[in-house]
């Protein structure tokens, strides 16, 4: 809904400009017909200016564009994230258009099929009916119409979408018996048997045994429990993926029929449409992407028949236009009093990340009597450390999935200071180690960089310095540390929108993460954490100019669902 509303806003803006005679672009698709290409990763043959990148052609904004260098055989490619059914392509050309071009599709970005071509392109607004499917769509320019390069305000790919996706079919493979050529079980991948590919847990995986399985041939199979019609297979690969593999089916688990072959496997998430029948389904891997073996986070089979087991129900996605306050702390306690124990669990002890402080059980966290909670870092000796500070969380009082999580905070400035408002997957409390439980950093701030804050996701395949996220500044470039600001995360099954003072700063799209980084591990309960760290791998140590005591002030924390 959030993305659809943004698309409607962009379309309304375009219509208003058309009325003023300022634009001649085609209006954007209606919200119910949102392009499959909207906000997807884009690659181009070239870019004319730093501000005219390929992403501008799929951002839904009719006032931004992609432009190439002045040469023929230029191209723009969009990754739709999975194999999609495509029935229409909308091209909104700038004055520098192509008279000759073709539209191509591919499942692997290597082997291409042409679904449209012309040598008499007219530029302007072109609404092209096509018939094809693929994960990737490429516009290849064979002839420019001007002496310049080519330029597009918008490239929109439309269609029913979801070829090889669940759709109206059923997940048949959940909790079914699996088998494999070999399985890993050691300190690197503990209990990584084939069942882990069928458990709908994106943080567990199957991997071949390093002693016997790091060879080109390997396989994993699932018994669906009864004969089934198979409409698709979805694979979420670990970095140890297969570049060449077959999908095979069998009635008895011993005689196999090949129903799909891939020779250009790209790893990450692959959705493969099928039209096959059988009780058993096998991925037969024949060529490795690197020196290691093969590993899958998820192997999902969709179709009809079989003997499906219903997976646990997920909560409904929130409507971010109609939310209720379900949890809050306004920090109205008397001066000097600790955090409300019915809302917060104090988290004392030694830190991680090579931080230099010790978190104390009391004294470093208190109400200031003016409607704020203070997390105070001090330069003082305690338990062999030179600094003390405060950390608290809702692990014992509030764990939940989805919603809007918001805090109004004033962060301290100074080298080596590291305040944060973040969330940890609640299965961490049951012994699942980080980062398999998932981490959502709504706000992190590094004291020596006072104009920037950061929002980041951490998971098994992307964590630490390789986490998925971004930094951002205030519109005027002023110091974030100069006053209070409101950080928020709107989280549902499709992604997480991070914002600062009501301005969107970063969107983590589930499909993009799965197609470019690794599993999405955030569909379960999380709890909130507030802390002020001193030193650590990211900020480094304080220096002589770092002020102590330093205070992180929290005006409120609120959750809406």
Which tokens belong to 59?
A: 């951002």
CA angle 508, 471, 320 (to 5 degrees): 40
Residues in contact with 368: Cβ distance below 8 Å, sequence separation at least 6, in sequence order: 335, 374, 553
- Decide: helix, strand or coil at residue 194: helix
Cα–Cα distance for residue pair 228/304, rounded to 1 Å: 6
Which sequence positions are flagged as catalytic? 439, 444
Cα–Cα distance for residue pair 386/21, rounded to 1 Å: 66
Q: What is the pLDDT of residue 132?
A: 86
Q: Within 13 Å of residue 241, how many CA atoms lie on the same side as its CB?
A: 19
Cα–Cα distance for residue pair 145/392, rounded to 1 Å: 63
Pairing of strands 269-288, 503-509: unpaired
Q: What is the pLDDT of residue 90?
A: 95
User: What 8-state DSSP symbol labels residue 237?
Assistant: E
Average pLDDT over residues 330-350: 96
Q: What is the pLDDT of residue 131?
A: 86
Cα–Cα distance for residue pair 212/470, rounded to 1 Å: 40
Q: CB–CB of 346/361 below 8 Å?
A: yes
Per mean pLDDT, which range of 19-33, 111-125, 222-236, 274-288 is the poorest? 19-33
Q: 33: pLDDT confidence band, cut at 50, 70 and 90?
A: low
**Residue 147: is its pLDDT beyond 90?**
yes
CA-to-CA separations, 560 to 323, 344, 490, 491, in angstroms, rounded? 6, 18, 9, 11
Q: CB–CB of 124/93 below 8 Å?
A: yes
Q: Within 13 Å of residue 102, how many CA atoms lie on the same side as its CB?
A: 9
Cα–Cα distance for residue pair 298/141, rounded to 1 Å: 38
Cα–Cα distance for residue pair 24/1, rounded to 1 Å: 28
H-run or E-run covering 18: helix 2-19
H-run or E-run covering 93: strand 75-93
**Residue 30: is its pLDDT beyond 70?**
no
Q: How many CB atoms lie within 10 A of CB 461?
A: 23
Cα–Cα distance for residue pair 105/142, rounded to 1 Å: 16
Cα–Cα distance for residue pair 481/511, rounded to 1 Å: 34
Average pLDDT over residues 432-454: 96
pLDDT tens-digit profile of 505-541? 999 999 999 999 999 999 999 999 999 999 999 999 9
Q: CB–CB of 290/240 below 8 Å?
A: yes
For tokens 């209720």, what's the residue? 324
Cα–Cα distance for residue pair 438/526, rounded to 1 Å: 9
Q: What is the pLDDT of residue 24?
A: 29
Cα–Cα distance for residue pair 557/329, rounded to 1 Å: 5
pLDDT top residue among 28 and 472 = 472
Q: CB–CB of 5/38 below 8 Å?
A: no
CA-to-CA separations, 386 to 351, 355, 541, in angstroms, rounded? 13, 11, 11
Q: What is the pLDDT of residue 17?
A: 30
For residue 422, which of 451, 392, 446, 382 has the smallest C-alpha distance? 392
Burial (CB count <10 Å: 0-12, 13-18, 19+), residue 89: buried
pTM more than 0.75: no
- Decide: helix, strand or coil at residue 452: strand
- Decide: helix, strand or coil at residue 152: strand
Q: CB–CB of 297/518 below 8 Å?
A: yes
- Decide: helix, strand or coil at residue 529: strand
Residues in contact with 313: Cβ distance below 8 Å, sequence separation at least 6, in sequence order: none
For residue 375, which of 423, 415, 339, 340 has the smallest C-alpha distance? 339
pLDDT top residue among 368 and 106 = 368
Cα–Cα distance for residue pair 288/237, rounded to 1 Å: 12
Long-range pairs of 249-255 with CB within 8 A, sequence gap ≥ 24: 249/276, 249/277, 249/278, 249/280, 249/281, 249/282, 250/278, 250/279, 250/280, 250/282, 251/227, 251/278, 251/279, 251/280, 252/279, 252/280, 253/221, 253/223, 253/279, 253/280
Question: Which phi-psi region, left, alpha or beta, contains residue 103 (left: φ > 0; alpha: ψ -120 to 50)?
Answer: beta
**Residue 164: is its pLDDT beyond 60?**
no
Q: 31: pLDDT confidence band, cut at 50, 70 and 90?
A: very low
**Residue 176: is its pLDDT beyond 90?**
yes
Q: What is the pLDDT of residue 21?
A: 30
Cα–Cα distance for residue pair 489/496, rounded to 1 Å: 6
**Residue 411: is its pLDDT beyond 80?**
yes
Q: 159: pLDDT confidence band, cut at 50, 70 and 90?
A: confident
Question: Which phi-psi region, left, alpha or beta, contains residue 84 (left: φ > 0; alpha: ψ -120 to 50)?
Answer: beta
């Amino acid at each position: 809904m959030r993305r659809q509303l943004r698309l409607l806003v962009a379309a309304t803006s375009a219509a208003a400009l058309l009325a003023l005679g300022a634009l001649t672009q085609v209006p954007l698709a209606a919200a119910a017909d949102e392009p499959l290409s909207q906000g997807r990763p884009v690659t181009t043959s070239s870019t004319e200016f730093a501000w005219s990148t390929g992403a501008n052609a799929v951002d839904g904004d009719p006032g931004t564009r992609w432009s190439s260098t002045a040469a023929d055989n230029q191209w723009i490619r969009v990754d739709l994230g999975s194999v999609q059914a495509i029935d229409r392509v909308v091209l909104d050309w700038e004055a520098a258009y192509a008279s000759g071009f073709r539209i191509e599709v591919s499942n692997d970005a290597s082997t291409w099929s042409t679904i449209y071509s012309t040598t008499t392109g007219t530029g302007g607004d072109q609404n092209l009916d096509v018939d094809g499917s693929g994960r990737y769509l490429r516009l290849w320019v064979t002839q420019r119409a001007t002496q310049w390069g080519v330029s597009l305000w918008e490239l929109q790919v439309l269609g029913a979408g979801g070829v090889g996706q669940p759709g109206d079919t059923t997940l048949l493979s959940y909790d079914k018996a699996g088998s494999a050529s070999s399985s890993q079980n050691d300190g690197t991948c503990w209990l990584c048997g084939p069942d882990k590919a069928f458990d709908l847990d994106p943080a567990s995986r199957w991997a071949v045994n390093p002693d016997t399985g790091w060879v080109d041939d390997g396989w994993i199979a699932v018994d669906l429990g009864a004969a089934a019609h198979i409409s698709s297979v979805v694979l979420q690969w670990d970095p140890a993926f297969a570049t060449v593999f077959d999908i095979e089916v069998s009635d008895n688990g011993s005689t196999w029929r090949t129903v799909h072959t891939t020779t250009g496997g790209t790893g990450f998430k692959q959705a493969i449409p099928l039209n096959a029948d059988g009780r058993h389904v096998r991925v037969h891997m024949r060529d490795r992407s690197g020196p290691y073996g093969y590993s899958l986070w998820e192997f999902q089979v969709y179709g009809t028949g079989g003997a499906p087991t219903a997976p646990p129900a997920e909560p409904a996605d929130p409507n971010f236009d109609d939310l209720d306050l379900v949890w809050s702390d306004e920090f109205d306690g008397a001066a000097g009093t600790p955090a409300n124990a019915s809302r917060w669990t104090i988290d004392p002890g030694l830190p991680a990340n090579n931080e230099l402080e010790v978190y104390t059980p009391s004294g470093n966290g208190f109400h200031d009597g003016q409607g704020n909670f203070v997390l105070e870092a001090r330069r003082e000796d305690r338990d062999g450390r030179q600094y003390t500070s405060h950390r608290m969380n809702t692990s014992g009082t509030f764990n939940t999935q989805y919603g809007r999580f918001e805090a109004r905070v004033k962060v301290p400035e100074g080298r080596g200071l590291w305040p944060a408002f973040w969330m940890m997957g609640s299965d961490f409390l049951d012994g699942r180690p980080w980062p398999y439980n998932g981490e959502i950093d709504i706000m992190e701030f590094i004291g020596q960089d006072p104009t920037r804050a950061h929002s980041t996701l951490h998971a098994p395949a992307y964590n630490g310095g390789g986490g998925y996220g971004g930094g951002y500044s205030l519109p005027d470039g002023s110091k974030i540390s100069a006053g209070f600001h409101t950080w928020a995360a709107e989280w549902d099954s499709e992604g997480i929108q991070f914002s600062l003072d009501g301005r969107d700063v970063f969107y983590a799209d589930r499909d993009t993460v799965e197609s470019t980084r690794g599993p999405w591990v955030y569909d379960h309960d999380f709890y909130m954490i507030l802390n002020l760290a001193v030193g650590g791998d990211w900020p480094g140590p304080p220096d002589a100019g770092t002020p102590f005591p330093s205070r992180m002030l929290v005006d409120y924390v609120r959750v809406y669902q």
